[in-house]
Amino acid sequence: MEIALHEKINKFSLRSLIIICLILLVAAYILLKIDVSFHQRHLENALLRLNMLSGVDEAKNELEALNSFITQARDSDIPIGVLLKKISNIASEEIFFNEFKLGPESKSGSISGYIKWTGVNPDTILNKFINQLNNSGYVKDAAIYSVERSSKDGSDINTFLIVFKLP
Amino acid sequence: MKSPSAQQKKIIYITLIISFFFFLFWFFVYAPQNRRLNLAKQQLKETEAQITEIMRITKGRKLSYAIRGLKEQFQRMAMMLPSTEQEAAIQVSEGARSQKIEIKNLAFAPKRPGKAKIAKYEIEELPISMNLACEFRVLGGYLSNLRNSSTLLTKVRELNIKSNGEGRPGLEVNLQISVYLSKASVASISSSAPLSKTIPAQVKNEPSLKAGSVLKQENHLAWERCPFSGKIYSAQKRLKDLTLAGIIWDEKKPLAIINNEIVKAQDKINGRTVIEIKHDRVILNDGSEDFELRLVH
C-alpha cells in the first residue's frame, strides 16, 4: 500500500516536471517570437521612413561628393600666386631673374638669373636667398645647380641656376 | 557500490531526456531566433541613426524644401565646372583681361577623361595653354584669383616666366592650366531652370557648403620687388634712397632739394624723373608709375 503511494507521488512529480518544462519552453519561444516580430515591425517602419527620406540623403551625398572633389582639387593645386609674392619678398635687390620655371605636375622648378655686384659677396646673397626659399614652405630642396662668374661693362656678374622641388 | 533502483534509473533517464529537449530547443529554436532579434535590433539602431541624421539636415522643414535646398547648393557649387571649352576660355581670358594682362595666344589641348563622377556628371580636365604679357605682381594676382575663383576650378600644370631684361617690367609668360569641366552641363541646368524663383526664402538663406580651401586665408604679404625687372613695389623701399629736404616754391618754376641736389620738373635723380613739384611734395616716376615724395619735417 505504502509502495503504491510512493510510486504515485513519483509519477505525479515526474509528469508535472515534464509539463512545467514544456510550458517553460513554449513560453520562452512565444515571448521570443513576439519580441522578434515587434522589432521586425519597427525595423520595417523605420526602413519605410528611411526610404521616404532617401531623397535628402542622396542630395546630401552628392553635395558632399562635389564639395570633397573641389576641396581636393584646390588643396592639390600649389598657391603659385602666393609663392611669387613670397619670392618678391625674399629676392634681394642684387638678384635678377632671367627665367622662372615651375612644373606642379613634375613637382619641380628652376630659377636662372644673375647677381649684380654691389660689394656684397654673391655667394652670401645666393645662399641667403636659397635658405629663405627653403624656409618659405612652398618649395623644398632648393639648391644651386650652377654658378658662373663673368664680367660685363666693367662689373662682375654671377649667373646662377637654382633648382628646387615642390612639396 | 550499490546499483540504482529502477525508480532512480527512471528519474535519471527522464532528466537526461528533458535536458536533451532543452538543448534541442536552445540550439534549433532559441539561438536562431535570438540571432534574428539581435540583427533586427542592430539594423533598427542604424536606420534610426540615419533617420536622425536626415532629420537634422531637413531642420524640421518640409522634405521637398530640404531636397531643393540641397540641390540648389549643389548647383551653386557646380557652377565652378563649366560645360564647354568656350565657357572655360571666356572665364579664363576675362579674368586675365580684368587684370590688364595681354593674352597673346590661348590654345586648348584635347580633353582628358574624367577621373571623377559626381551624381550624373562626369568631370573632365581641359588643358589650356596661354602666352601672356604682364607684370610680375599682376601675374601673381591673376594666379591667386584663378586658384580662389568661385566660378572656375583650375590647376596650374606648368608656368614659365621669361624676363624682358632688367628695368623692363613686362614679362613673357607661358601658363599651362587645366580647367575642370562637367560633361553633363550642371550650370546650364541651373540657368534653364532658375531655382531661385521657386525656392522659398527659408531655403535660399541657408548658408552654403564651401570648399575648405576657399575658406583658407592665404598669406597676406605685401608685394616687395619684381625679381625680373628689379622694380620696387613697396613705397617705403622705393623711396628709401631719396630724401626731400626742401621745396623752393615758385608758382611758375618750383624747385625741390632732393638728396642735397636742386631739381626741377623733368629732371632725373637716382633713375627717377621729377614729374611735378607741389608746395609740400614732389611727384616722381620710376619708369612704370608715379609716386610721391613728401617733405621731411
Q: Inform me whether the pLDDT recorded for A153 exceeds 90.
A: no
State the cell numbers at B40: 533586427
A34 shares contact with chain B (CB less than 8 Å): no
Nearest C-alpha of chain B: how many angstroms from A121? 18
The rounded distance, in Å, linking the Cα atoms of B23 and B219 is: 73
CB–CB contact B37 A35 (8 Å): yes
The answer, as to whether pTM is greater than 0.80, is no
Q: How much is the ipTM here?
A: 0.71
The rounded distance, in Å, linking the Cα atoms of B162 and B190 is: 42
The rounded distance, in Å, linking the Cα atoms of B106 and B19 is: 88
Nearest C-alpha of chain B: how many angstroms from A120? 17
CB–CB contact B147 A81 (8 Å): yes
State the cell numbers at B217: 586665408
Q: Chain B residue closest to A137 (CA)?
A: B219
Confidence band for B114, pLDDT divided at 50, 70 and 90: low
What's the pLDDT at B210? 35
Q: Inform me whether the pLDDT recorded for B7 exceeds 80.
A: no
Point out the least confidently predicted range of A54-58, B31-35, B145-149, B172-176. A54-58
Nearest C-alpha of chain A: how many angstroms from B278? 30
Query: Which chain B residues are within 8 Å of A60, Cβ to Cβ?
Result: 54, 57, 70
Comparing CB atoms, the residue among A33, A62, A96 nearest residue B228 is A96
Q: Inform me whether the pLDDT recorded for A2 exceeds 60.
A: no
Q: Inform me whether the pLDDT recorded for A1 exceeds 70.
A: no
